[in-house]
Chains A and B, each alone.
Chain A
Amino acid sequence: MVLKNLDVPFANIEVARRTSELLRLHAQKDKWRPSLPVPIEAIIERTLDLSLLYDDLSAHGANVLGALYPTERSICLNEKYLSSFEDCPGLERFTQAHEVGHWQMHVGVASIDHPSLFDIDSEFDIDSEAFICRDGDRDAKEHTANRFAARLLMPEDLVISELNNYSLTSRERFRDFASRIGVSFAALHIRLDELHIPHQW
């Protein structure tokens, strides 16, 4: 269920709560022992039972990286970006996690499974329209989905634990660490700043 007009601090608390809940659920359902990189495809397919599709999304305009089709329970990545995804697996994984963010934060899952039980004018903002996500989108829902993706792929406890065995003493080591945990350089940079973990890269 999605409460209308979430203010930012409340949305952040919800993002934190729902990412932790999802990781816990995946650990339980898939017998996953929490570690990095977070197995985002397994979470999508086996825990959330969403299908994963690679297709041409050019019809939706430029810079579209991915989409979520709630009624089809499907996450689609734009195959036109395959070379970018191959060059930077972190980008592909972040796009997948971003769409999971929309699914967890903005889609009334119960309304997809049981549409007749829900009234769109109720207190819950039930969204079953497709989410088409472009690189650089800055609206509130896109921002929330990005925060969700960052927390899902880089849970605070796992990042800190991993950093106990790895020092970020050079830009190269920073890049290597990002690659090891399956995220992009930029995503790691933002997340470490958010966690107030000092680094100089």
Chain B
Amino acid sequence: MEFGAYIRERRKALKYSLRELAEAAEIDFTYLSKVETGRFPPPSEDVIQRLAKALDIDVDELLAMAKKVDTSIHEFIVSNPAAPKLLRALKEERLSEAEQILDKIRRKKGGTEES
């Protein structure tokens, strides 16, 4: 599903009007109508973050739909030579294995927080 159509469907499911969502995301409702109908491309990262919050959607999921990467992640990748290597390695692995690695990291992080 396209970014705009996804926003529209989520907004309808939550019974928000165009004006209500636009106000929550601090954007103009006419602009939102153009994004939703694909007249305009997906908005900037900060607007996407506000839309994700208003619509209770995972921001990374929404950024991915807009074919954008969180600026902090982008900065991390370009400033750490090991990061692209890690991502390339993950890309070459099967996705399920990447998920397992992510789980390990989460567990380790949880264990550290608990200790």
A binds B: yes
Beyond A52-B18, A55-B33, 18 additional contacts (C-beta under 8 Å) are A42-B17, A45-B12, A46-B12, A46-B15, A51-B8, A51-B33, A51-B36, A51-B37, A52-B33, A53-B33, A53-B39, A54-B34, A55-B30, A55-B34, A55-B39, A74-B37, A79-B30, A82-B30
Q: Which residue of B lies closest to A74 (CB)?
A: B37
A54 to chain B, nearest CB (A): 4
In the complex, the answer to whether B30 meets A54 with C-beta atoms within 8 Å is yes
A55-68: contact bitstring with B at CB < 8 Å (1 yes, 0 no)? 10000000000000
CA–CA, A114 and B29, complex, Å = 32
**Partner of B34 from A41, A46, A53, A72 at Cβ < 8 Å:** A53
CA–CA, A45 and B12, complex, Å = 7
Q: Is the interface of B mostly helix, strand, loop or mixed?
A: helix
CA–CA, A193 and B29, complex, Å = 36
Question: What residues of chain A lie closer than 8 Å to B15, measured between beta carbons?
Answer: 42, 46
Question: What residues of chain B lie closer than 8 Å to A82, measured between beta carbons?
Answer: 30
Q: Could you tell me which A residues sit within 8 Å of B by CB distance?
A: 41-42, 45-46, 51-55, 72, 74, 79, 82
In the complex, the answer to whether A54 meets B33 with C-beta atoms within 8 Å is yes
CA–CA, A45 and B39, complex, Å = 18
A-B pairs with beta carbons under 8 Å apart, 29 shown: A41-B17, A41-B18, A42-B15, A42-B17, A45-B12, A46-B12, A46-B15, A51-B8, A51-B33, A51-B36, A52-B18, A52-B33, A53-B33, A53-B34, A53-B36, A53-B37, A53-B39, A54-B29, A54-B30, A54-B33, A54-B34, A55-B30, A55-B33, A55-B34, A55-B39, A72-B37, A74-B37, A79-B30, A82-B30
CA–CA, A41 and B18, complex, Å = 9
A151 to chain B, nearest CB (A): 23
A68 to chain B, nearest CB (A): 14
Q: Which of B18-57 contact A (CB under 8 A)?
A: 18, 29-30, 33-34, 36-37, 39
Question: What residues of chain A lie closer than 8 Å to B12, measured between beta carbons?
Answer: 45-46
Question: What residues of chain A lie closer than 8 Å to B33, measured between beta carbons?
Answer: 51-55
CA–CA, A46 and B13, complex, Å = 9
Question: What residues of chain B lie closer than 8 Å to A46, measured between beta carbons?
Answer: 12, 15
CA–CA, A10 and B29, complex, Å = 39
Question: What residues of chain A lie closer than 8 Å to B37, measured between beta carbons?
Answer: 51, 53, 72, 74
CA–CA, A46 and B34, complex, Å = 18
A100 to chain B, nearest CB (A): 16
Question: What residues of chain A lie closer than 8 Å to B18, measured between beta carbons?
Answer: 41, 52
CA–CA, A197 and B37, complex, Å = 42
Question: What residues of chain A lie closer than 8 Å to B34, measured between beta carbons?
Answer: 53-55
